[in-house]
Structure 1
Amino acid sequence: MGRKIVELDVREILRRKEEPFQGIMQTVNALDPQDVLELRATFEPAPLLRVLGKQGLRSIVNRNGEDDFTLQFYRDEASALPYWHLDNRGLEPPQPMVRALGLLDGVDAYGHGERGLEIWNERVPALLLPELEERGYQYEFEDVGHQTVVIRIHR
């Protein structure tokens, strides 16, 4: 499959007042260069953002609730804009388009140009592209093999 999103939920560890750092670092060290670590936590861990930033990982944070945060860590030296990653492979149409537009329409940071969205589809999303243009988004796509087309969407 090539690239993947590796999920790690440390919320229960944090609620027990235990330290998840070692497990997080083991997961980070096992990532392939094009993988994304998606970490669930009870707060935005600024020290972890700095530590992983020094290791060359970019980060982006979604606040889901009062004590529920989803963070993504990934390697990207080319873009100054942070990107959220969404893996749509294996989903039946129109779910990939619905998921992408739901994020773009539901989170102001995309519309304001503060973040981008990178989606991984099995093919070029022909029906999504005109919807993006109509909403004023720019996009680039690349077939990276392994039945994966990467689409980067931004303002």
Structure 2
Amino acid sequence: MGIKSFQGIRKSSKKEFDAPILVSDYMTKKLVTFSPDQSILEVMEQFTKYNISGGPVLNDDGFLVGIISEADCMKQISESRYFNQPILDRSVEKYMSKNVETIPHDISIFDAAGVFDKHNRRRLPVMKDGLLVGQISRKDVVVAALKLSGQNWK
């Protein structure tokens, strides 16, 4: 006589992943933005005031036209030193990066990590329907990964 099981039929236990994994869940939504005609001095003051290292540059219509960073400001500082002049009130437009990689709001943070790796950027503007809706940084992706480390996903 065989052994009889008293447990009955088991349901397959498939864990559902319920943690947020989209860029829009982790991006910064309240941004310090700059305009192309702002002076580099103003930008550096804003960097210090808000403890940031860069930000998006928007035109008068609110469209993204570039990114200004501490590295861009270093160009201005270097030129001022080279020509033995004080830091001039040159505009952001002259020093900002105009070729800006952006990222859609609805991709996963895993895909965002791949974009950061490919383009070697510290921050990426997040777009929805052609408009800037936020910014995600490498640190945001690391924080998201730490929050997700205890989760199972498939």
Say which structure, 1 or 2, has more relative contact order (CA 8 Å, 6+ apart).
Answer: 2
TM-score, normalization: structure 1?
0.30
Greater share of residues in strand: 1
TM-score, normalization: structure 2?
0.30
**Which structure has the bigger radius of gyration?**
2
Greater share of residues in helix: 2
